[in-house]
Structure 1
């Protein structure tokens, strides 16, 4: 049995659900199951989400977060960012596309699938929370659950990454929000924040 089972490849949805009820497989995404006992890691989660349907897109935001640190079932709506800033959205796309850019160290490959690197993924989530709420406390509250899944070393790397960012939208507010959520004790600790 392959370690990634998709609807129609070759089993039907009903057959996959029967296997799940028998305790032989478990659901990893809305259209993907894996055998019980399979080690779930970033590579398996990336393969479960699969390659983007359109060229030039990179898994990002909540989808990338799930690839790197996810628990439970994957996101039902995929989120992507364009590799270069260009118009890529269509109203009938069953995914979300952010028209920004991902290049260099912000880009990673997991199981041959392009994904935003861990620090860039966290940056995108902090920016999204800030843009949606416009309030630092609300943005921080929204991020705490996602932040809890990120190991301490990667939290520190993200704060360093954010300190190195400049000429980005709302960067000062993002640093304050990130310090609250990703600091050593989840409250910002005594870490100094670069105020460029």
Structure 2
């Protein structure tokens, strides 16, 4: 008998069977497009594999989707956000994802099981630069993403970044998020 992958999608089994297995307690929905066996820990590898079905070729998991992959968000976003480098902008997108065209610097991404994801630092900066920033929702996520780095790294990154809009706004939001997180400890 063929062993199933730890992350299952409609490519593996019909959606009705996946949901029936959820009702039976064998699977749990991991995102809008993926399911995982109930006893499999939700690691960055498993979460990245759960986003893979919505990725276009040469695309990158970013923003709230990357925050979820890194473990800074408990639940996945309803729609995943993926990025396509400016040079690869002809890549087609799939459903269940918002696709953005971005310019990334070397070191802005990392690879998780062959899937490109923005680093925790770049993810935090992107969330802080976003017009849709929600202080109550996004500040704790930013603090978790920056738990292993911090404000000095953010300042250095933003100082070196050319043509990156909303740098001052991002730095203020990151400073506030880290200060609030430190006061809660």
From the superposition, tell whether residues 85 and 100 of structure 1 become closer, same or farther in structure 2 (CA, over 3 Å): farther
Name the TM-score, length of structure 1 as normaliser: 0.75
Give deviations 1:140-183, integer Å, cap 9, x for gaps: 334234246x16xx336142232111243222222111111123
Q: Could you tell me which residue of structure 1 aligns to residue 175 of structure 2?
A: 179
* Aligned partner (choices 64, 67, 70) of residue 65 of structure 1: 67
Match of 1:157, SS? coil
| Equivalent-residue separation in structure 2 for 1:72 and 1:21 (angstroms) | 21
Q: Could you tell me which residue of structure 2 aligns to residue 191 of structure 1?
A: none
| Equivalent-residue separation in structure 1 for 2:166 and 2:27 (angstroms) | 44
Name the TM-score, length of structure 2 as normaliser: 0.79
Q: Could you tell me which residue of structure 1 aligns to residue 139 of structure 2?
A: 144
| Equivalent-residue separation in structure 2 for 1:37 and 1:92 (angstroms) | 29
Residue segments in structure 1 that go unaligned for 5+ positions in a row: 134-138, 189-196
From the superposition, tell whether residues 158 and 96 of structure 1 become closer, same or farther in structure 2 (CA, over 3 Å): farther
Cα deviation, residue 104, structure 1: 1.3
Residue segments in structure 2 that go unaligned for 5+ positions in a row: none
* Aligned partner (choices 126, 132, 135) of residue 124 of structure 1: 126
Q: Could you tell me which residue of structure 2 aligns to residue 41 of structure 1?
A: 43
Does structure 2 retain, via aligned residues, the 8 Å contact 1:156–1:182? no
Match of 2:86, SS? coil
From the superposition, tell whether residues 185 and 142 of structure 1 become closer, same or farther in structure 2 (CA, over 3 Å): closer
Q: Could you tell me which residue of structure 2 aligns to residue 155 of structure 1?
A: 147
Q: Could you tell me which residue of structure 2 aligns to residue 194 of structure 1?
A: none
| Equivalent-residue separation in structure 2 for 1:33 and 1:106 (angstroms) | 28
* Aligned partner (choices 6, 9, 21) of residue 6 of structure 1: 9
Select between 53-62 and 71-80 the one with higher mean Cα deviation. 71-80
Q: CA RMSD in A?
A: 3.0
Match of 1:96, SS? strand
Aligned residues: 178
Cα deviation, residue 6, structure 1: 1.2
| Equivalent-residue separation in structure 2 for 1:93 and 1:25 (angstroms) | 23
Does structure 2 retain, via aligned residues, the 8 Å contact 1:51–1:113? no
